[in-house]
Structure 1
Amino acid sequence: MTGTNRPASVARPHPGTAMTGEQRAAFERDGFLVVPGVLSEDEIAHYTTAVDRVYEEHATAGKLAADRSLHKLNAVDSCTDLAPLLDHPKVFGLVWSMLGWNVHVYHSHLDVHPPLTEEKPFRFEWHQDGGRQNREIETDPRPRLSVKIAYWLSDLSATGRGNFQVVPGSHTTNRIDGPPRRDMAWPNPDNAIEVTANPGDAVFFDRRIWHARSNNHSRITRKGVFFAYTYRWVQTRETMTADLPDLTPVRRQLLGLQDGDGDHAWGHYPSGVPLHGLLKDHDLLDPNNPPLKP
């Protein structure tokens, strides 16, 4: 599904800039950051066209949900035009600032949610990312383990457009009140907000923050692309099958295409990890993420 009109900025060798002290404090306090203006107008147009193409292919094949929405996993394998978003320099620095250099994308998806034409049956959708991690790790709070970037392609500057909902600060809370069954009507958690964003903005968030997607009652189709990053010793949910010979070494790392055995994924050999080398070249290595000592 590779497109022919790639943006001129597709080759991005620089890893971006480290998270500022102000950003880190806000992220640790709230569990998320809104990063304005990550994508240019040309990039928004390019990636919107790519996502629309995938959507139309699924519509033609009768593979949309009943409400004509699309939640397509494995974003780059599903739409190879999205590969440059893996390490976009205006936001990628937030990832390695929080998790270090031994990371990959373990989960990703592109989403298209048209306006609802009828009311959906109620379902309590508030959750933390990570699935079984939230049942099988016994610490309180549970460890961060992963972070996620949402790139917005549509105008979510007002609420009611399928906005990303969060409870600020809830990333250090293992539990929130919820119904005994998800189909039982239940109010939103206390202090929940709908995050507003303009086209081209990104939201960077801790996987532990309690969040949900609101229903889209507007006239705007909600479109976004999501990448979740974790340590390379955590198993990925996805398998990359597309042949993309022009991927940079860092993007190959993020897609799990690096050669090597389990010790390689554990980061025992940083000289063979592309992002480590790139950060070293730009004098951006964080001393809090040193190589493992023999």
Structure 2
Amino acid sequence: MTDTTLPATALAGSILTTRPGPASDGWTAMTDVERVRFEHDGYLVIPGALTSEEVAAARTAVLRLWHADGHRGGPHGDTAMHRLSAVSACPELALLIDHPTVFRYVWSLLGWNVHIYHSHVDVHPQLPQPQPDWWHWHQDGGRQNRELETTPRPRMSVKLAYWLSDVSYPDRGNLTVIPGSHRTNWLPGPPSRGVPWPQPARALQITANPGDVVVFDRRLWHARSDNHSPHTRIAAFFGYTYRWVTGRDHVADLPNRPEWATFTPVQRQLLGGIGTGDGDHAWGHDPATTPLYAELANRNLLDSSIPALIP
């Protein structure tokens, strides 16, 4: 069973500023094989992306927040937490937003003019009772899925799902996907979400160990399985899009907090802290003053064969 009891020393909190484990700066592009797989399936599973120390630090931060929330009960008697704006809620999680093992997939797919527009941390203990029927299947992006006109609609964003608990078996709150569905604009479903309806054909519960990461296209049709196990589901999700797309996260106060001084320039860009605030900088008109562009340029990683990485 996942231990959700925090030691007394964890209540004070701390910022994890180092990355334990083998030294690696992670600045390599995703491979051609990975790109083909991602384009075909709409997602990749990256096993062992985090070290055990990183998993423990991130899990402790999320559980500290959950405890501070008082394990607020959900509408059906559960004590789940779904908190938006992950780094504002848990500054310790800044480690994850440009983690060297998986951040390379973000800039390989979207390029350098990106930020985190949506993030959340989740805690889902075992459900106390069967849940009412509810259709959870969706694509990310909200109104993008109504207002963009093409078929298929453009990718627009990708998401990193960090697993901080054991979901190596089904029905533990697993991310459930339909492989290849990212090129399908509509999914047959019930007339309203509360109407009983069978699961989509080819639905797959992704199993993962603590420290594994799933990279997925926002268009991939996905849902969360109910957690019927005694293992509490703990996860952190970060969605990346272009800086000219409005962010959903509440991060305006971050530059005024002491943790801001510990963040790198790239991390500050991802959290919306680069530019003059008038919107023009977010259009990418001044690449030289955009930290991720400079980082990729210095490492000769601006690849003209990939539109998002054209210098």
Alignment partners' CA distance in 2, 1:136 and 1:214: 28
Is 1:104 the equivalent of 2:115?
yes
Alignment partners' CA distance in 2, 1:131 and 1:205: 16
- Aligned with 2:70: secondary structure? helix
- Aligned with 2:121: secondary structure? strand
Instruction: Tell me which residue corresponds to 2:185.
Output: 174
Alignment partners' CA distance in 2, 1:2 and 1:25: 45
What per-residue deviation string (whole Å, max 9, x for no partner) do you get for residues 37-93 of structure 1? 111011111111111100000126x47664100000000000100001010000000
Instruction: Tell me which residue corresponds to 2:14.
Output: 4
Instruction: Tell me which residue corresponds to 1:246.
Output: 262
Is the Cα–Cα contact under 8 Å of residues 17 and 95 in structure 2 kept in the other structure?
no
Instruction: Tell me which residue corresponds to 2:134.
Output: 123
Alignment partners' CA distance in 2, 1:134 and 1:266: 22
**5 Å matches for 1:58-137?**
58-59=69-70, 62=72, 66-137=77-148
Alignment partners' CA distance in 1, 2:27 and 2:198: 40
Alignment partners' CA distance in 2, 1:251 and 1:2: 23
- Aligned with 1:280: secondary structure? helix
**5 Å matches for 1:5-84?**
6=16, 8-9=18-19, 14=25, 16-59=27-70, 62=72, 66-84=77-95
AA partner of residue 232 (structure 2): T
AA partner of residue 156 (structure 2): L
AA partner of residue 292 (structure 2): L
AA partner of residue 280 (structure 1): A
- Aligned with 1:111: secondary structure? strand
The alignment's TM-score, normalised by the length of structure 2, stands at 0.89
Instruction: Tell me which residue corresponds to 1:257.
Output: 273
Alignment partners' CA distance in 1, 2:200 and 2:85: 30
Alignment partners' CA distance in 1, 2:296 and 2:12: 29
Query: How high is the sequence identity, in percent, across the aligned residues?
Result: 53
Stretch moving more, 125-134 or 280-289: 280-289
Is the Cα–Cα contact under 8 Å of residues 7 and 43 in structure 1 kept in the other structure?
no
Instruction: Tell me which residue corresponds to 1:269.
Output: 286
Is the Cα–Cα contact under 8 Å of residues 2 and 80 in structure 1 kept in the other structure?
no
Instruction: Tell me which residue corresponds to 1:285.
Output: 302
Instruction: Tell me which residue corresponds to 2:245.
Output: 234
C-alpha spacing 1:138/1:196, structure 2 compared with 1 (3 Å): same
The alignment's TM-score, normalised by the length of structure 1, stands at 0.94
Segments of structure 1 that go 5 or more residues without pairing to the other structure are none
AA partner of residue 264 (structure 1): H
- Aligned with 1:108: secondary structure? strand
Corresponding pairs, count = 289
